[in-house]
Structure 1
Amino acid sequence: MWPWSHAAVGYLCYSIGTRLVGRRPTTGPTVAVLFGALLPDLVDKPLSWVFGLVPQGYAVAHSVLLAVPLGIAALVLTHQHDRRLLGIAFVVGYWSHLLGDVLFGVLRSNPHAFGRVLWPIVTLPAYEQPVLTRLGDYVSVFTGFQSTDDAMIVILGASVVYVTIGVWIFDGRPGLTPIRQALERSFDGPTDGNE
């Protein structure tokens, strides 16, 4: 899955869950769910693609052996500091990432679909292509410049992102206000008090 697909799935899960308990999504948990949804790739892709410490971008942070205790620790820690919604949102984002990778692998008939989340019990074979070649292939498939047998998966992924954008707008665009305020302050520049 692409990073924006992970973010979209995580946000959808958070938004639906929030609505089911009679609340609306807010900024803090929105940021937490997005961070959790992106964390496995932010850790494992550099470990593999940049540093060569693991053979594939599915390793340490994608492992349920880390994700489950880390999720529980996040829930306990945020509960102790009366910030439960942040912990719940983080776990929703993180665990939805792992579930998304497994389901995406199953949809693509990847023989290693479940192995993606079982490191170090299962260590996936090393990538056959150099990083830049692999990135080029990913981009060309996503942009449609290369024919693919799994075009429906690409369309499904894009649809999830578009639906999520609509849901996020419906939710009141949580997380946008602080960004907009920061940008406005940066464009206003420093004031000398003589205005």
Structure 2
Amino acid sequence: MWPWGHAALGYLLYRVVLPSRGRPWPPSDGTAIALAVGTQFPDLIDKPLAWSFGLIPSGRSLAHSLVLATIVCLLVVTIARRSGQSKPAWAFAFGYYAHLLGDALLPILQLDAEFLSFLAWPLLPPPPYESDSSFLEHILNLSPTPFTLFGLLLTVFAMGIWIYDGYPGLRWLGTESGTPVSND
């Protein structure tokens, strides 16, 4: 899934889950930003470490592992709880796991367990990808597959919902004092 698809999936899932748990909607700007960062976090770690520096075996290994995801999310929530910022920390964790779900979605739909092995790295080797070498290679190989089109449609839908919700994460830009608006 491309970055915009991860952001859209995370936002839409959070949009469904948060109000269903009795929390007010939309979230504060800080919480929305933490959610967005969480939806991108695994790729921000793995892609440069694998493609630019060759330090890990794949662009879906270290930060895409449920092992590391759980450790990172527990640390983030524990540290944030001590500083009274648990809502953004939980949103980050939600976004992180939504990213992993987004990457697992196609292999699940295709019933291809081999391509789910990234979730158990380093206990299992990462899946064999045809192009796992550079950002430019991925951009140049972007093609309108059904899953890529699904990600684009999901993004357009999520953007419409996000606009309807009043631009959570950017509302502070519209305030005179620049003070973020908090709804959670």
Could you say which TM-score interval applies, normalised by the shorter chain? 0.7 to 0.9
1:8 is matched with which residue?
8
1:23 is matched with which residue?
24
1:49-64 equivalences in 2 (<5 Å): 49-64=51-66
2:93 is matched with which residue?
91
- Aligned amino acid, residue 41 of structure 2: L
**Per-residue displacement from partner, 1:71-129 (whole Å, max 9, x unpaired)?**
12222222222212111101110011111111122235545332121111122256554
The 8 Å contact of residues 11 and 164 in structure 1, kept in 2 or not, is answered as yes
Instruction: For structure 2, list consecutive stretches of 5 or more residues without a partner in the other structure.
Output: 179-184
What is the CA-CA distance between 1:18 and the residue it aligns to? Answer: 2.4
Structure 1 counterpart SS, 2:141: helix
The 8 Å contact of residues 115 and 127 in structure 2, kept in 1 or not, is answered as no
16-25 or 94-103, which deviates more: 16-25
The 8 Å contact of residues 28 and 86 in structure 1, kept in 2 or not, is answered as yes
1:115 is matched with which residue?
117
Structure 2 counterpart SS, 1:114: helix
**Per-residue displacement from partner, 1:54-82 (whole Å, max 9, x unpaired)?**
23201111111111122122222222222
Quickly say closer, same or farther: Cα 1:134–1:155, change in 2 above 3 A.
Answer: closer
With structure 1 as the length reference, what TM-score do the two structures score?
A: 0.78
> Within the alignment, does 1:169 sit opposite 2:169 as a pair?
no
CA-atom RMSD in angstroms = 2.3
User: May I ask how many residue pairs the two structures share in their alignment?
Assistant: 173
Structure 2 counterpart SS, 1:48: helix
110-119 or 153-162, which deviates more: 110-119
Q: 1:137 aligns with which of 141, 145, 148?
A: 141
What is the CA-CA distance between 1:16 and the residue it aligns to? Answer: 1.9
Quickly say closer, same or farther: Cα 1:177–1:94, change in 2 above 3 A.
Answer: same
**Per-residue displacement from partner, 1:154-190 (whole Å, max 9, x unpaired)?**
2321121111111111211112233467xx9xxxxxx
With structure 2 as the length reference, what TM-score do the two structures score?
A: 0.83
Report % sequence identity.
34
